[in-house]
Structure 1
Amino acid sequence: MAHLTLATAEQTEAPVGTLIREWRTQRKISQMELALDIDISPRHLSFVETGRSRPSAELLMSIASQLDVPLRARNTWLLAAGYAPRYSEQGLDTARMAQAKAAVQRLLDTHDPYPGVALDRHWNVVLHNSAAAKLMSLLPPELLTPEINIFRASLHPQGFAAFTKNFAEWGSYLLQVLQRLMLSARDEAIIALVEEVHAYPNVIALKQQTPVTQATEPSLLIPCIMELHGHELSLFTTLTTFGSPRDITLHELCVELFYPADTQTEVFLKAMGA
């Protein structure tokens, strides 16, 4: 039986119109633009946002789709308007998720000897391949529990940042990704994570640095350049998500695959895998 995600009292105490207005404002879309996009009058949308009109569940889902609201928040909207949530949240280890989990693990294992991980909505590692396990073994114990978080592991001064030669560039990229995640997810745990990493001394120093002007032609991608065991590794990354998910866990799951950015890195990773 599907387990439907229930929002907390704090999440649902706000009227649905207020929630819509907050998301619309965050997306920087006017009432007029949104009304035209979903084919209703601006007056009707105004009434919905101010609570003078109760929207149908279909209208809520139309607005949510146009604003690209995450499935978790859509359930919150439905509950706030007095409707039942529509999207399940299956645990990754449940029987119904077995096929999807196996597909992700197969993708990660096929990617060996290059590192690959599957991440939840907070960018905690939930699945990984052998190459990623070898890299994560370099982390100190305090960054391994209760779970490995990519932002914490990569930005903490005792984590991968200690091995990252281009931390100014790579760290700035990660901070931008984390900022976008906070704005799109509106999640308290992400907000707490942002506050935590911005208190790291190396991140404080990074934010105080003057941006360096690129003297040569910039590379196509920002690599993560690490020095491990006397070898310099250069890696770029891709992010993959499920198409058309109707479950919150699958909607929030992403796969991050690292690839060698040069021949030297490719040779080293293949040798390490062997």
Structure 2
Amino acid sequence: MAIVASGTTASPTAPAARGVGPLLRSWRERRRISQLELALRADSSARHISFVETGRSRPSEEMVLRLAEHLEVPVRERNALLLAAGYAPRYRQTPLDDPALGPLREGLERLIRGYEPYPALVVDATYDVVSANRGITMLLEGIPERLLAAPLNAMRLTLHPDGLAPRIRNLREWRAHLLAQMERQVALHRSAALCELYDEVAAYPVPRSAPETAEPSGRAPYFALPMRIEHDGRVLSFVSSISTFNTPMDVTVAELAIETFLPADPDTVEYLHSSWAGKSREAWRE
């Protein structure tokens, strides 16, 4: 599944009419940091932070970026802070299909293909899938076409009652994990599109037959919460890992995330490799 431009992006925050101060105060309160603590982190003073937040002092461009860094403000929102302070945006937002991002797209494709037969995918800020390998395609076998239409959304596919949800043996646990993950992203990004997606998937019904906890396996405890999913009469177990880019300078790149699924038990490893070997032989004969 090749990388494509996703159908939606997180909505940018409009600069506050009253200036940058209220925005910075909102981010500071959201992070539960006092003015004094922020001042110490940013090599400033609590008095200056107070003056900035109340509009009595206009921060320099460098100070806006420094405060944004210590408040862990997402790259998209840093542009909004700069605009509110009267400065030009610092970070570009390059479309994913732009030729300038060609090396990035190729690198991501090689990365997730190299992870096969294990599943891996790349998503944007609203969990729309921009690329996926054949390990993911295997798990999606039998999903209704309407759920596979672009833009393909990872959360919708996983939690929809006609998607993967009925196949996930520990659905209640996995669902709680995914919703908590989305709540953290909503708090971080303040994206209206992400809020709408959360409200949608959180309202999906959970089958009454879904167990409260994962079924005991008789093995040693998993080292992380697994997703236990049925495939072709077997139960496969995966734990996921999410990676993002370090110090991105582009909004699009900052909002990309690579999720890989690592087999959580030997049976899953054996099944994936044996299935992959069989498919490879079929492809060679063709």
Task: State whether structure 2 residue 201 is matched by structure 1 residue 221.
Answer: no
Q: Tell me if the contact between 1:155 and 1:203 (Cα under 8 Å) persists in the aligned partners.
A: no
User: Offset of 1:272 from its aligned partner?
Assistant: 2.9
**SS of residue matched to 1:201:** coil
Task: State whether structure 2 residue 53 is matched by structure 1 residue 49.
Answer: yes
The structure-2 alpha-carbon separation of the partners of 1:116 and 1:32, relative to structure 1 and needing over 3 Å to count, comes to: same
Corresponding residue number in structure 2 for 1:143? 147
User: Offset of 1:244 from its aligned partner?
Assistant: 2.0
Task: State whether structure 2 residue 65 is matched by structure 1 residue 64.
Answer: no
- The worse-fitting range, judged by mean Cα deviation, of 88-97 and 64-73 is 88-97
Counterpart among 101, 105, 112 of residue 101 in structure 1: 105
Q: Counterparts of 2:142 and 2:130 in 1: how far apart (Å)?
A: 18
**SS of residue matched to 2:206:** helix
The residue type paired with residue 172 of structure 2 is A
Q: Tell me if the contact between 1:198 and 1:204 (Cα under 8 Å) persists in the aligned partners.
A: no
Deviations 1:87-111 (A, max 9, x none): 0111111111111111111001101
Corresponding residue number in structure 2 for 1:81? 85
Q: Counterparts of 2:137 and 2:20 in 1: how far apart (Å)?
A: 43
User: Offset of 1:204 from its aligned partner?
Assistant: 10
User: Which residues in structure 2 correspond to 1:211-250 (within 5 Å)?
Assistant: 218-250=221-253
Deviations 1:244-270 (A, max 9, x none): 211111111111111211122122222
User: Offset of 1:145 from its aligned partner?
Assistant: 3.0
User: Offset of 1:210 from its aligned partner?
Assistant: 7.7
Q: Tell me if the contact between 1:118 and 1:128 (Cα under 8 Å) persists in the aligned partners.
A: yes
Q: Counterparts of 1:211 and 1:108 in 2: how far apart (Å)?
A: 31
The residue type paired with residue 58 of structure 2 is R
The residue type paired with residue 194 of structure 2 is I
Corresponding residue number in structure 2 for 1:129? 133
Percent sequence identity is 40
Q: Counterparts of 2:250 and 2:95 in 1: how far apart (Å)?
A: 10
The residue type paired with residue 144 of structure 2 is P
**SS of residue matched to 1:270:** helix
User: Offset of 1:140 from its aligned partner?
Assistant: 1.9
User: Which residues in structure 2 correspond to 1:1-274 (within 5 Å)?
Assistant: 11-14=14-17, 15-202=19-206, 218-273=221-276, 274=279
Q: Which runs of 4+ in 1 moved over 3 A?
A: 203-206, 209-212
Q: Tell me if the contact between 2:52 and 2:59 (Cα under 8 Å) persists in the aligned partners.
A: yes
Q: Counterparts of 1:205 and 1:18 in 2: how far apart (Å)?
A: 48
Q: Tell me if the contact between 2:237 and 2:265 (Cα under 8 Å) persists in the aligned partners.
A: yes
Q: Counterparts of 2:40 and 2:114 in 1: how far apart (Å)?
A: 46
The structure-2 alpha-carbon separation of the partners of 1:105 and 1:38, relative to structure 1 and needing over 3 Å to count, comes to: same
User: Offset of 1:192 from its aligned partner?
Assistant: 0.6
Q: Counterparts of 1:155 and 1:203 in 2: how far apart (Å)?
A: 11
Instruction: Give structure 2 stretches of 5+ with no counterpart.
Output: 1-8, 280-286
Instruction: Give structure 1 stretches of 5+ with no counterpart.
Output: none
Higher relative contact order, chain-length normalized (CA < 8 Å, sep 6+): 2
Give the root-mean-square deviation of aligned CA atoms.
Answer: 2.4
TM-score relative to the length of structure 2: 0.86
